[in-house]
Chain A
Amino acid sequence: MTIPPRLRRVLVRLRRDLLFIGAGVPLHGIPPLLCIWACLHIADILGPGTTWGTLGLLIPVTLLVISAYGLTEAQRWRFRTLCGVDLPRLRLREGKRQWGYNCLIGPLLGFLELAVLAVLVTALTAATSLLWVGALAWDLRAEHIGYWTWAGYATVAGLLVLAAVPALAGALVRLENVVGRAVLYVSRSEELERRVEDLTESRAGAVDAADAERRRIERDLHDGAQQRLVALALNLGLAKATLKDLPPEARQVIEEAHRDAKEAIEELNSLVRGLHPAVLDELGLDAALSGLAARAPLPVRLWTDLPGRAAPAVEAVAYFVVSEALNNVAKHAEATRAEVDVTRLGEILRVVVADDGVGGADPARGSGLKGLAQRVRSVDGAFRMSSPVGGPTTMTVELPCMT
């Protein structure tokens, strides 16, 4: 038997709506039940009072306070999982809304939910009344003449009500959505403020994670491939030094291999050095820049004025900026010299890299410069570049660093 698609859609939606309504009943029902429990205790205290009554009152009241806040989370889960509505997380200081929703509006909604479920159960029972009647014993039915007619009416009425249940359930879900959003939602500006806080936090996390990843790669390469390459070059060097009576062809092969191994070490060292050198963590930006400037294939002047250490993330970005800028100068600028100035003034770390090359560098075109600008932005830095055709090129990066 195939169900027509339209009916299938109605049934799927009804199932979802009923789940949402069903989950709402206990959540909305807890506070009124706790209130009743508390009222019973109060009545007990006002009547023939006992100390036990006062203590006993503490339990429902405590539970009520906890539930007023805890149920908001549960409601968020219910809205998100069963209805696809993402309500914002409310803070403790927005207690008024939480109390209002859970203890005043909640019970009313709970009542409506119960009503819809009761209508559904009653309608189902009525629609199947012919079955119930058929199940009764013959002598019981004999006492009620005309029951088939009544059962027929009940069946028709039940089916009619059943047909209305999806609309009813849908209406209640919509009502709950409207009420939930109105009470448990925050204003646009509050929401934006929160979003900014969340994003700032998650961005900082992402930046830190990327730095940690670079450190890990640096460490792994240092402990693995780099040691092996050095050992290889060392053994080839030993062979070169000790095997004096080899035929010239063999000597040449060894010498070439030795040279290749040394070049491989150099290349790998330069690559890894650009990642996140250990000295950057240990001694800071100032100490780490010497190695960068000295490794560059053109004369570099380095000037630093860094009274204290900045945050690790900021130091890592500044280091990367210098590293990437010097790479770019070496690759594209055709420069004869470069200058690197790194100074910290108050809360601003300023990195200036200048070269006397051909200019014409465009951050919008070069992927390296784009990546550089992105990484500067990742810590709220500012990136400026002046590179007229014919040179000279000056790149200025300013990074905020909180003390």
Chain B
Amino acid sequence: MIAEDSVLLRVGLVKVLETAGFEVAAEAGDAQALLAAVEGHRPDLAVVDVRMPPGFTDEGVRAALEIRERWPDTAVLMLSQYVEERYAAHLLASNTSGIGYLLKQRVADVEEFIEALRRVADGGTALDPQVVAQLLVRRRSDPLERLTEREREVLALMAEGRSNAGIAGALVVSESAVAKHINNILAKLDLPRADADHRRVLAVLRFLGV
């Protein structure tokens, strides 16, 4: 299910999704049509543009919140020309599972984008690194100061919603090294140890003030 007002991008998105093996049930050009289509098709995943007609402001965010509330089985991946931590906070306020929020340009890195799509469709989280960076600039002296450079990198990747394997792949280190870093981080920040990925993401994001 795709909602995007730019026809050009919609066509490209359909191609990417089909490459990844998803079946596109419907396409919509605005929030109204999106909600109607979700109601009709009950898709597993909706890919939604933030700025859509009529107002071109945050229609997509509001539609996404409504979808998460009314049809919790539908995961939502938001795409936007610019990501804003404030919108991320709105989206993640109630629930971090099955939510993604990425810059539009990430679509161009097809493999990574498809990986994020799958993660969200499976009930995980995909936050753009830009959002995490924005969350990090707003912190004053606090426990984060106690983290090493490497641990901060791991924390940022955790906040994006990546699994241990994903973090290991991004930093080109072994999974056991990642697990060790994560244990250190959780200890230093006084966060609860969670087994499930998205619970861990939730803890990290709450810590970052989302």
Contacts and interface: CB of A to CB of B under 8 A. Distances in A.
A377 interface: no
Contacts of A226: 81, 104
B134 A291 contact: yes
A278 interface: yes
Interface string A261-294: 1100110010001000111011100011011011
Interface size bracket, A side: 35 or more
Nearest to A264: B105
In terms of DSSP, what is the predominant structure of the interface of chain B? helix
Interface residues of B, number: 37
B12 interface: yes
Contacts of B9: 227, 230-231, 234
A233 B109 CA distance: 8
A227 B6 contact: yes
Contacts of B8: 227-228, 231
B105 A277 contact: no
Interface string A381-392: 000000000000
Contact of A238 (B6, B12, B136, B140): B12
Contacts of B107: 230, 233-234, 237
Nearest to B10: A231
B137 A237 contact: no
B108 A234 contact: yes
A236 interface: yes
A132 interface: no
Contacts of A290: 84-86, 134-135, 137-138
B129 to A, nearest CB: 9
Nearest to B111: A241
A261 B107 CA distance: 12
A230 B6 CA distance: 11
A190 interface: no
B137 A301 contact: yes
Nearest to B49: A227
B142 to A, nearest CB: 11
A76 interface: no
Contacts of A262: 105, 108-109
Interface string B12-39: 1101100100000000000000000000
A172 interface: no
Contacts of A227: 6, 8-9
A241 B108 contact: no
B133 interface: yes
Interface in B29-72: 51, 56-58
Contact of B12 (A231, A288, A291, A293): A231
A222 B5 CA distance: 12
B82 interface: yes
A294 B130 contact: yes
Contact of A223 (B6, B13, B139): B6
A375 interface: no
A303 interface: yes
Contacts of B110: 234, 237-238, 240-241
A301 B140 contact: yes
Nearest to A259: B108
| Residue among B9, B82, B133 with max Cβ neighbours from chain A (10 Å) | B82
A242 interface: yes
Interface in A300-318: 300-304
Contact of A294 (B12, B109, B137): B137
B82 A234 contact: no
A214 interface: no
B105 A265 contact: yes
B137 A283 contact: no
Nearest to B11: A231
A403 to B, nearest CB: 23
A257 to B, nearest CB: 11
Interface string A234-264: 1111101110000000000000001001100
- Residue of B16, B82, B83, B137 most packed against chain A (CB within 10 A): B137
Nearest to B86: A287
Contacts of B81: 222, 226, 230, 269
A279 B86 contact: yes
Contact of B140 (A230, A237, A240, A303): A303
Given A230-B9, A262-B108, A273 B130 contact: no
A240 B113 CA distance: 13
Given A222-B51, A231-B6, A293-B134, A237 B108 contact: yes
Contacts of A283: 84, 86
Q: Which of A230, A238, A282, A295 has the most CB of B within 10 A?
A: A230
Contacts of A304: 138
A278 B19 contact: no
Contacts of B19: 238, 241-242
A219 interface: yes
A237 B137 CA distance: 31
Please provide the 3 A-B residue pairs with the shortest distance between their CB atoms, ordered closest to farther. Answer: A233-B108, A290-B134, A294-B133
13 contacts: A222-B56, A228-B8, A234-B12, A237-B113, A238-B12, A238-B15, A265-B108, A283-B84, A283-B86, A290-B86, A290-B138, A295-B130, A300-B137
Given A290-B84, A294-B134, 9 more contacts: A226-B104, A227-B6, A233-B107, A234-B15, A240-B110, A242-B19, A290-B85, A300-B137, A302-B138
